[in-house]
Amino acid sequence: TGAASGMGRATALLFADEGAHVAVTDLDPVKVQAVVDEITDAGGSAVGHQLDVSKAEQRRAVVADMVARWGGVDILVNNAGLVFDTPLESPDFEAHWARTFDVLVTAQALLIRECLPHLQKSTAPRVVNIASTEGLGATKGISAYTAAKTGVIGLTRSLAVELGSRGITVNCICPGPILTGLTENIPEEARQEFARRRTVLRRYGDPEEVAQIT
């Protein structure tokens, strides 16, 4: 999911280079088709779907097409993302909170659930959830995003325990800031603040030491 640009596009291209059949899904059908064309023009196998991961009927349709087309599902990458700059007192806070959790947490769990019957038939089933270093730290003004990414880490841990005995690995990636369409509008001052904070965490490591200097 979220494969029309940024990390999602790079992931789709990498899987295609490794010989996988790739379902490219995202909200923008034009960008989806561009990635599909990029893969197929290079000799890879891909199909595109416009997908709002918060819509149950769309999730079902995409998974059903993958199974009908290729016989199953081996790997699910949950990469759909969004972020709202919404301070706690913002009039849009409740709506942005709900949308953020719908896309970043609930949809990940329900996509795994939708794929589960097929993953259980795979010889090498994998689930990769994309979280963020925001799930390990925090930035002011985006509490919904931070809470949701923390939730993705918890979801991954729980499902790794639940599904591991069935041979399904569930892992989580926590990228830092990467220049994509989702992050290009972050002000330079905020980028520098983030970079300094992460440097401190890497250098000192111990939470008590970090608390004393931040």
Residues annotated as part of the active site: 145
Q: How far is the CA of 89 from the CAs of 86, 148, 175, in angstroms?
A: 8, 18, 28
Residue 150 to residue 171: CA distance in whole angstroms: 14
Backbone angles phi, psi at 181, to 5 degrees: -60, -30
Backbone angles phi, psi at 52, to 5 degrees: -100, 110
Q: Which amino acid is it at 103? A: V
Residue 141 to residue 176: CA distance in whole angstroms: 17
First to last CA, the chain: 36
Helix 143-164 × helix 93-101 angle, to 10°: 20
Backbone angles phi, psi at 129, to 5 degrees: -100, 130
* CB proximity list for 133: less than 8 A, separation 6 or greater: 174, 175, 176, 198
Closest to 65 in 3D by CA, of 34, 29, 21: 21
